[in-house]
Amino acid sequence: MTWKSNSTILLISSPAQRSGRNLTITARTLIEINPNISEAEHVRKWNQRENCPINEPVPADLFDIEAITRAPTRLQFTLASLDSFIRASPSQPHSGYLSVILTKLNLLSLWKTGQLFSMPCPCGAPVYANTASAPCAACGTRNTKLRINPCLVPELADETGAICSTLLPGSPPHPPNPSKTTIPHTGSRRQSKILWTDEAWTQLLGRHPDQLAALLGPGDPAQARRNLNMLRYLEQRLSFMRVVLLVGWTGDEVMGGRLVVLRVLG
Ligand SMILES: [Zn+2]
């Protein structure tokens, strides 16, 4: 039996309570590993959602994008109706179109802090950089392949609600609004619960992530100024833009359930 972080579930029956909030085991205590009960599955999915990696690729073959775009029936969601769809059958994958406004962008702030690209290293440490690959400071692994940091688009909204997928440290928490639907909220953490395909990033930013990384490559101060101006222009152009997204819900059997932006349709 191998302990898997964020995966292995223990069911502890009949523990004894020690002083304060500590529990201890006794001769009567039973510890079951990965018990086959619905509560364990619920805890596992909740944990997968809450402790998702800082970035990860969209699982291959989960969505047949070409088949979805050719389908005669096209589901047009609002954020509220998508939320209702997911709540009605959370394990069922869904796909459809969302017309949303990009109400917040972190393009400049992520570039300034050297976090435009990110991925966890196989050792588990987060790796951030403004380049398409970077070494891991924790274990020394060279050239960890990075993807665009999904925190670049932390907030989407339409007339029925908003998705606040991430907040950078220091940002005030988004005020709760009972009249709006909010799909998953992560408090003050850096993870984004929304996955983006490279194709969607390319359509949103006007260039492939690798081309963006090459453009922003290290250079002299004049180059840094040009980068700053280019990113500022891009952020201003995209801010509060309405875009139609082809999105998919993975179903909660996959990574606890994640929303994926498959394509940006303008
Ligand atoms: Zn590492």
Report which secondary-structure segment, H or E, holds 182.
strand 181-183
- CA–CA separation, 127 and 117 (whole Å): 8
| Pair 39, 162 in one domain | no
Tokens of 242: 């309405």
198: how many CB neighbours lie within 10 A of its CB? Answer: 14
Residue 3 within any structural domain of the chain: no
Token pair 């909740």 is found at 46
Report the separation in Å between the CA atom of 107 and the middle of ligand 1, taken as the mean of its atom positions: 25
- CA–CA separation, 156 and 166 (whole Å): 11
| Pair 41, 172 in one domain | no
- Residue 191 has a pLDDT of 66
**Phi, psi of 248, rounded to the nearest 5 degrees:** -135, 145
- Residue 113 has a pLDDT of 92
Contact by Cβ (8 Å): 223, 157:
no
| Pair 43, 156 in one domain | no
Return residues with CB closer than 5 A to ligand 1 (ion). 121, 123, 125, 136, 138-139, 141
Report the separation in Å between the CA atom of 84 and the middle of ligand 1, taken as the mean of its atom positions: 40
| Pair 17, 93 in one domain | no
Tokens of 170: 């220091």
Domain that holds residue 23: 10-50
Report the separation in Å between the CA atom of 127 and the middle of ligand 1, taken as the mean of its atom positions: 8
Residue 69 within any structural domain of the chain: yes
| Pair 98, 34 in one domain | no
Report the separation in Å between the CA atom of 119 and the middle of ligand 1, taken as the mean of its atom positions: 10
Residue 128 within any structural domain of the chain: no
- Residue 151 has a pLDDT of 93
- Residue 241 has a pLDDT of 96
| Pair 74, 36 in one domain | no
Distances in Å between the Cα of 235 and the Cα atoms of 3, 59, 99, 180, 204 are: 43, 28, 19, 26, 11
Q: Residue 187 gets which letter from DSSP?
A: T
- Residue 183 has a pLDDT of 41
| Pair 40, 77 in one domain | no
Report the separation in Å between the CA atom of 159 and the middle of ligand 1, taken as the mean of its atom positions: 42
Residue 112 within any structural domain of the chain: no
- CA–CA separation, 246 and 203 (whole Å): 12
Residue 43 within any structural domain of the chain: yes
- CA–CA separation, 201 and 140 (whole Å): 29
- Residue 110 has a pLDDT of 93
| Pair 88, 214 in one domain | yes
- Residue 169 has a pLDDT of 45
| Pair 34, 78 in one domain | no
- Residue 168 has a pLDDT of 47
Number of structural domains the chain divides into: 2
Over residues 62-92, the pLDDT tens digits come to 899 999 999 888 899 999 999 999 999 988 9
Residue 183 within any structural domain of the chain: no
Residue 111 within any structural domain of the chain: no
Tokens of 5: 């972080």
Report the separation in Å between the CA atom of 54 and the middle of ligand 1, taken as the mean of its atom positions: 14
| Pair 29, 85 in one domain | no
Residue 125 within any structural domain of the chain: no
Show pLDDT as tens, one digit a residue, over the chain (266 residues): 678 777 789 999 999 988 888 889 999 999 999 999 988 888 888 887 777 888 988 888 889 999 999 988 889 999 999 999 999 998 899 899 999 999 999 999 999 999 999 999 988 899 999 999 999 999 988 889 999 999 999 999 999 999 887 644 444 333 333 334 334 333 344 567 899 999 999 999 999 999 999 888 777 788 888 888 989 999 999 999 999 999 999 988 888 888 999 999 97
Tokens of 116: 């435009």
Report the separation in Å between the CA atom of 140 and the middle of ligand 1, taken as the mean of its atom positions: 6
Contact partners, residue 30, CB within 8 Å, separation at least 6: 12, 13, 14
Report the separation in Å between the CA atom of 31 and the middle of ligand 1, taken as the mean of its atom positions: 33
The secondary structure of 8-71, three-state, reads CCEEEECCEECCCCCEECCCCCEEEECCCCHHHHHHHHHHHHHCCCCCCCCCCCCCCHHHHHHC
- CA–CA separation, 19 and 170 (whole Å): 36
Report the separation in Å between the CA atom of 118 and the middle of ligand 1, taken as the mean of its atom positions: 13
Distances in Å between the Cα of 181 and the Cα atoms of 28, 160, 215, 240 are: 46, 7, 38, 19
- Residue 266 has a pLDDT of 75
| Pair 74, 205 in one domain | yes
CATH code where residue 218 lies: 2.40.50.140
| Pair 39, 91 in one domain | no
CA distance from start to end of the chain: 49
